[in-house]
Structure 1
Amino acid sequence: MEITLNGHHTLIVAALVMLAGHWLVFRIRFLSAFNIPEPVAGGLLAAFIITLLNAATGLTLRLDTDLQTTFMLMFFASIGLSADFTRLKEGGKPLVMLLALVSVFIVVQNAIGVGLAALLGLKPLIGLVVGSITLTGGHGTAGAWGPVLEAKYGIAGATTLGIATATFGLVFGGLIGGPVARHLIRKQKRAPLPQTHARTGIDAISGSPRHEQAGANEEDKRLTFELFDQPRLITAYAAIETLAMFAACLSSADLLGRWTHGTAVELPTFIWALASGVVIRNVLTHVFHFQMFDRAIDVLGNTSLSLFLAIALVSLRLWELADLAGPVSIILAVQVVTIMLYATYITYHFMGSDYDAAVVAAGHCGFGLGATPTAIANMQAVTDRFGPSYKAYLVVPLVGAFFVDLVNAAILQVFTQIPFFQ
């Protein structure tokens, strides 16, 4: 038996899932401690309920995919519209170095995923799902690539596997960052701050002294969708203006996708949406000196991602993962060990082998397996105990929030075009 919901009903279900997720995260400490997004918490609960109903009655639920696709494209357009390349200059050499290190690690992450998948008798492209698609990319990238891998490459259950793997990454990204940083700091013989100093002198969110943080540039501390409750003052005109840019990104993505279909430069539509956002942002900002309203972009992008995730999770078919559980667990275990070693011996060394580098290594563990808020939580745990790190709090959010998505999209496109992996 299959129940099909139209667009209106799909939106209602997504809203209910998000409300349920909000209640779960508020009530269950584990979920809030590991930065599990509210739509993921509520969506997984709904997916488990539907799985039980399927086992008992054969029920399946099909939601409006057009609405899901629109929200997904809006999210990736928001990443592009946020990618002002002048911020590379603000971060300086440390930001460029971290972006280079992260780019190399994405290749390593995918090589491990693809190689182990082949050795374990799985399709090599499944290794990308248990690679940077989900671990570096997170839930948004997992949900975007899943349908592409299913429809174009025949990877059954790619979306379901991607969401499950991305959730695993959030949890373990939060577990390993602190221990990695403490190991590195212990080698430096740096003493922790007195507890009263750590609690009163260091801000809980940014790790910066509160008197200096007050005058800091607010936009430099913007996070991603999981912390969408931050205050943002948006006017109706700013919202309409921003929606017009989103519409331009989606229209451009649709046209480019149609024009390049079947050619050597064919790309998934969401990558065109992201690229269109990058072009629109930097042309408007640097050619026409247009003042972008980043808060409006954040709110609309974050809302779109939350609704997209809620719809995607309710549509999951968890029963499709049974045969993959064992091999995937092995690959994920190797991925966790790999990023711990990479952050300890590569990220730490090339970022300067000092205290700031140790905090950056903790952040890399966070967004290399999970998401930017996981990276921030890792760094906060370290700086609350050992003192602030201004460099880490500048470069990690800039790389993790949007630059890494640009690089990840390009690298994944290269991997999917290699004949061996298909």
Structure 2
Amino acid sequence: MTEIKIEGADVIIITVLVWFLGSFINRKLPTLERFNIPVAVTGGFLISLIVAILYQTQDVKITFDMALRDKMILVFFSTIGLTAKFKLLASGGKALLILTLIAGLFLILQDIVGVGIASALGANPGYGLFGGSVSFAGGFGTAVSWGNIAQEAGLTGATEIGIMFATLGLIVGGIIGGPAAKFLIDRNKLQPSAEDLEQQSAKSEKHIELSMKEKVRAVLGTLLTLAICVQLGSFVNDYLSGYNVTLPGFLTAMLVAIIITNSVDLFKVKLSKDAIDIAQEISLQLFLCVSLMSMQLWIFTGTLGPVVLVTLAQTIMMVFFAVFVVFRLLGRDYQAAVICSGFIGLGLGATPVGIANMNAVTVKHGPSPKAFILVPLVGAFFLDLMNAAIIQLFLQFLN
């Protein structure tokens, strides 16, 4: 076995090239563009497929250093926090409450499906939780964390199984979110509201070209702020760990960012919205590219049948839930359709996948400001907290 590990600047170079590859393929295959498949999903999945073929046919194992991915997720959620003004939280209002409750119901259904299939196949029901909200809604971090705990309790291979489901969820969530929104938009002849279109137009008209000095100041100020968010978030995690309190790194970084952005408002200090938006998009695209291109698809070989069966069942359940519950309860309008694409992404993969889905939809069909407030808030704040509580509830029931 020849092992090749790609590290450092090489990872950055390849990641950016993968993004351009995905962009090229999407342009050449209009179907991908038409169904709003994110560029990073196209390029990243193709590379992971090539890596898997080399592993199976040439006995060559290629792995990537995950430092870039891990750092980009912290930066991404820091940018989310920097845009989370308290007045925006208030503006979420009733819709935010509804989407949060819907998400809680979905997590329960996801675990019921996972545990039900595991039991029907004669497997330990505990594995069903990894085929449920632990890996799909929870993503890689939750799957690994709970996997280690489950393995210590005697659930052999729980971590690997969790990673399998999280990997497939990342792919499927990125593939079906856009088409689902397109289906709702086309079927119901939906379009952005006149007010949202006017606001977008007004923003474009009000855009003022900054001098080079002002641009440098904005970019450096944003980089400094993001670095502070990431570093202080790490300090908070280290402090809490001393009290046996474990929180995901992205959550503490985002909480620090929220405190910072609302604090600077009190002192009339303005952060560059344009620079934050650019940092958000770049960190999101890099995170998705690295996550997808580094997937070790060959790990599915031994348990491919049950894993695909569970993933298929979860995907079908998700689509029906998004179309018949999320879309209807959130108003059956254009913004509800965009939220559905984001909900599918975060429910099967991760919040960044949901954001990427919504980006792909809105770039083609028009703005949806409410979606970009509600989905990140639910995905970053409430989903993980509810998921932890629901997993504990199911564990007590299964025991």
Q: What TM-score does the superposition give when structure 2 sets the normalisation length?
A: 0.77
Q: Pick the aligned partner of 1:362 from 333, 337, 343.
A: 337
Q: Evaluate the alpha carbon distance shift between residue 119 and residue 276 of structure 1 in structure 2; reply closer, same or farther with a 3 A threshold.
A: farther
Q: 2:273, 2:131 → 1: CA distance?
A: 31
Q: Do the aligned residues in 1 keep the contact of 2:15 with 2:286 (CA within 8 Å)?
A: yes
Matched, 1:408 2:383: yes
How far the C-alpha of 1:10 sits from its partner, in A, is: 1.6
CA distance in 2, matches of 1:29, 1:168: 19
> How far did residue 238 of structure 1 move?
1.1
- AA aligned to 1:271 is L
Question: Deviation string for 1:290-324 (max 9, x for gaps)?
Answer: 32322212211221222222223332210101244
The answer for the alignment partner of 1:321 in structure 2 is 300
Segment of structure 1 superposing worse, 88-97 or 1-10: 88-97
Q: Give the number of equivalent residue pairs.
A: 374
Alignment of 1:144-155 (within 5 A): 144-145=141-142, 147-148=144-145, 154-155=158-159
- Give the aligned residue type for 2:94: K
Q: 1:242 to 1:347 in 2, by over 3 A?
A: same
CA distance in 2, matches of 1:104, 1:44: 31
Distance 1:39 1:129, change over 3 A: farther
Distance 1:114 1:279 in 2: 39
In structure 1, the residue matched to 2:11 is 10
- The 8 Å contact of residues 115 and 127 in structure 1, kept in 2 or not, is answered as no
* Partner SS state of residue 357, structure 1: coil
Matches within 5 A, 1:213-252: 213=199, 235-252=215-232
- Residue 349 of structure 1 and its aligned partner are, at CA, apart by 5.7
Distance 1:32 1:232 in 2: 31
Q: Tell me: CA distance 1:280–1:159, structure 2 relative to 1, closer, same or farther (3 Å).
A: farther
The alignment status of 1:270 with 2:254, answered yes or no, reads no
- 1:398 is matched with 373
Any conservation in 1 of the 2:131–2:310 contact (CA below 8 Å)? no
Relative distance call for 1:128 and 1:364 in structure 2 (3 A) is farther
Q: Structure 1 residues 122 and 310 mapped into 2: Cα distance closer, same or farther (>3 Å)?
A: farther
Alpha-carbon distance in structure 1 between the residues aligned to 2:124 and 2:38: 30
1:102/1:416 CA distance change after superposition, 3 Å = closer
Matches within 5 A, 1:135-214: 142=139, 144-145=141-142, 147-148=144-145, 154-156=158-160, 158-159=162-163, 161-177=165-181, 179=183, 206-208=192-194, 212-213=198-199
Structure 1 residue 115, shift from structure 2 partner: 4.6
- Correspondent of 1:281 among 243, 249, 261: 261
- Alignment check: 8 A CA contact 2:134 2:142 kept: no
User: What does the per-residue CA deviation read over 1:128-174, in whole Å, with 9 as the maximum and x for residues that have no partner?
Assistant: 5654864x6xxxx7455455456665511644542332221233333
Within 2, Cα distance between the matches of 1:301 and 1:283?
20
CA-based RMSD: 3.8
Q: Which moved more, 1:367-376 or 1:61-70?
A: 367-376
Cα distance in 2 for residues equivalent to 1:257 and 1:161? 27
TM-score relative to the length of structure 1: 0.73
Structure 1, 319-328 or 2-11: larger mean CA deviation: 319-328
- Quote the offset at 1:374 in angstroms: 3.9
Q: 1:81-109: CA deviations, max 9, x gaps?
A: 22223113334434443444344434433
Alpha-carbon distance in 2 for matches of 1:83, 1:37: 24
What runs of 5+ residues in structure 2 fail to find an aligned partner? 151-157, 346-353
Check whether the contact 1:363–1:376 (CA below 8 A) recurs between aligned residues.
Answer: no
| Post-superposition CA distance 1:209-268 (Å, at most 9, x none) | 7973555567xxxxxxxxxxxx99781111111111211121122222222337442122
Q: CA deviation at 1:58?
A: 1.6
C-alpha distance 295-169 of structure 1, shift in aligned 2 (>3 A): same
Residues 27-67 of structure 1 show CA distances to partners (whole Å, capped at 9, x for unaligned) of 11222223222222111111111111111222112222333
**1:251-262 pair list within 5 angstroms:** 251-261=231-241
Match of 2:74 in 1: 73
Structure 2 CA distance, aligned partners of 1:325 and 1:280?
46
Supply the distance in 1 between the matched residues of 2:131 and 2:264 (Cα, whole angstroms): 35
Corresponding letter in the other structure for 2:290: I
Counterpart code for 2:159: I
**CA separation of 1:413 and 1:282: change in aligned 2, threshold 3 A:** farther
Deviation at 1:269, TM superposition (A): 1.8
> Conserved in 1, the CA contact under 8 Å of 2:172 and 2:315?
no
The SS at the match of 1:14 is helix
